[in-house]
Amino acid sequence: MGGSRRLGSLSLLAALALLPARATPSNSPPPARQDTTRERNAFLVENALRPCSRDAIDSGTFELIEIAFAYETGEPFAPIIQSKRPSLGRPLYWCVERALSKVRLRPTPGERWRYTQLFALGEIPALPKEFLPAWQRALPDPARVKRALGGWLQPEVEVTATGCLHVVGPGVLAEPFVEWRPAPSDLWGVLLHNGDTVSALPGNWWLHQRTRHTNADPYSDLDLEDPRAEVLVDDEFCLEHVDPAVSALLRADDRLHKAVNAGAIFDAEWVVAGQGGVAGDIGVCLVPPPDGLQWSRFTSDEAEGIRRQVEDLLRGLDYGRAGPSRQIRIRYDHALGLTVRGVRPADGPLDRAASAVETKCERRAILRCDRIGKANQPSFASVAPVRKCIRESGASDQISATFDITPDGAATNVRIGGERASLVPACLQATIAGLAFPRSEGGICEQTTRMHELLWPPVNQPD
């Protein structure tokens, strides 16, 4: 599985302040003067605030402070305190004020823009060992979570409606959670294939980190005045109590990813007996991705191979002893990861013939188009209405149409090309939808053709 992810300890953080040197090809243009000026000025401010940060460390204080760089003045100027936390004490405030009063920044002639930067002063406190049991007891009520954890959370940390902790801002705000060691764990900081990070805790509890947005690159295309330009992390930390079978699936994330050949999505349901093994059959259904791209579809042999791989993996996992039998329903998406759709008591082993996943599965929906040669030609009789429509309307036989051909040979989802509506006869859409093609063992095929290609198909096409 993936490696762990850590954020380094910082005593002073400038969000988008220090622009790191980047290796560039020798023929690349030099950096813009605006960028080098911003880098130099941010470096001056950071150095000026170091004594204040040391004072904050000595007093056991951590603060975030926002500094404004008003380049639109066009004249020599000093940075100013744009905003601050209400908790910022007077000694620390005046330390920052005095430090900034000695800094003279270099303006960029002709530029008229401003931006702000967040600086961290001091060291952010670590989370105590009492944090985990307090969070567990308070879930799932967000109000209780806020009351139980409020004294340990920074003001910028939001408690969500599900009792998760949402952190938006400079990376230092996420550091207590990323550095946290709530309990011994051999899976601390495991990076799942969908980008989430999980940590296994005792009693089938998991700490789940989801990254919503990351903008750690100061050279990103975001507007300097866009508030998002200051966001270095946008993470959600959730504490989840799951069934032992779900814990087994989380531990098997890497093997699940390989079982779907890193490119398939499947639904599955099965029964886990009290002793921890699978009881009865396993229902598996490959489902097409939302975008319906052809590259993510399979031949019938490939699809059956993935089904066997998934079933063998699920049957071979150790789900642990957990009392009565339970029926597990999941979806695994190679990009989005694991979604648990249900864990409920089971009366007995699963019968595939009675499995909703199996009986509702559209097996051809995941198959790749495999029509070649004459399989792409509609029957002569079904083309006759199209020929009559073109002849009687006097429309051009150069009009193009795109449509899907189902495995049963029906034309669906007809789209006429970009011609003006006045040039397209009203009968064309309906007659194209009436085309009949040979059956195919593959999936849906998209076809684009001009009318003359339908009316006068090639005579020597391979079978």
Give me the CATH number covering residue 433.
3.30.1150
Both 357 and 387 in one domain: the answer is: no
End residue of a domain, out of 71, 87, 122: 122
Predicted pLDDT of residue 411: 96
CA of 115: how far to CAs of 141, 171, 219, 257, 266, in Å?
A: 38, 19, 14, 43, 46
Both 236 and 155 in one domain: the answer is: yes
Would 18 be classed as within a structural domain? no
Burial of 320 per CB tally in 10 Å (0-12, 13-18, 19+): middle
Query: How far is it, in rounded angstroms, from Cα 409 to Cα 270?
Result: 35
Both 173 and 67 in one domain: the answer is: no
Would 251 be classed as within a structural domain? no
pTM for the model: 0.72
Both 201 and 108 in one domain: the answer is: no
Would 12 be classed as within a structural domain? no
Would 61 be classed as within a structural domain? yes
Query: How far is it, in rounded angstroms, from Cα 131 to Cα 123?
Result: 19
DSSP state of 187: T
**How many Cβ atoms are within 10 Å of 425's Cβ, its own excluded?**
16
Both 177 and 141 in one domain: the answer is: yes
Both 52 and 65 in one domain: the answer is: yes
Predicted pLDDT of residue 111: 57
Residues of the chain with pLDDT under 70: 1-28, 31, 33-35, 71-78, 83-84, 107-115, 183-189, 213-231, 291-296, 458-463
- Give the domain extent around 316: 259-368
Both 163 and 234 in one domain: the answer is: yes
SS (H, E, C) 275-335: CCCEEEEEEEEEECCCCCCHHHCECHHHHHHHHHHHHHHHHHCCCCCCCCCEEEEEEEECC
End residue of a domain, out of 61, 90, 122: 122
Would 27 be classed as within a structural domain? no
Both 159 and 177 in one domain: the answer is: yes
Predicted pLDDT of residue 10: 34
Both 340 and 315 in one domain: the answer is: yes
Spatial strand order in the sheet of 62-70: 80-84, 62-70, 114-122
Residues facing 118 on adjacent strands: 66
Residue 135 near residue 201, CB atoms below 8 Å:
no
End residue of a domain, out of 347, 368, 389: 368
Both 417 and 358 in one domain: the answer is: no
Closest residue by Cα to residue 374 from 337, 421, 409, 350: 409
For the chain, how are helix, strand and coil distributed in percent, rounded to 5? 35, 25, 40
Both 290 and 236 in one domain: the answer is: no
Predicted pLDDT of residue 377: 92
Would 249 be classed as within a structural domain? no
Would 254 be classed as within a structural domain? no
Would 463 be classed as within a structural domain? no
Query: How far is it, in rounded angstroms, from Cα 216 to Cα 172?
Result: 12
How many domains does the structure of the chain reveal? 4
Residues facing 122 on adjacent strands: 62
First vs last Cα of the chain: how many Å apart?
A: 47
Tokens representing 32 are: 């813009």
Both 307 and 212 in one domain: the answer is: no
Predicted pLDDT of residue 60: 85
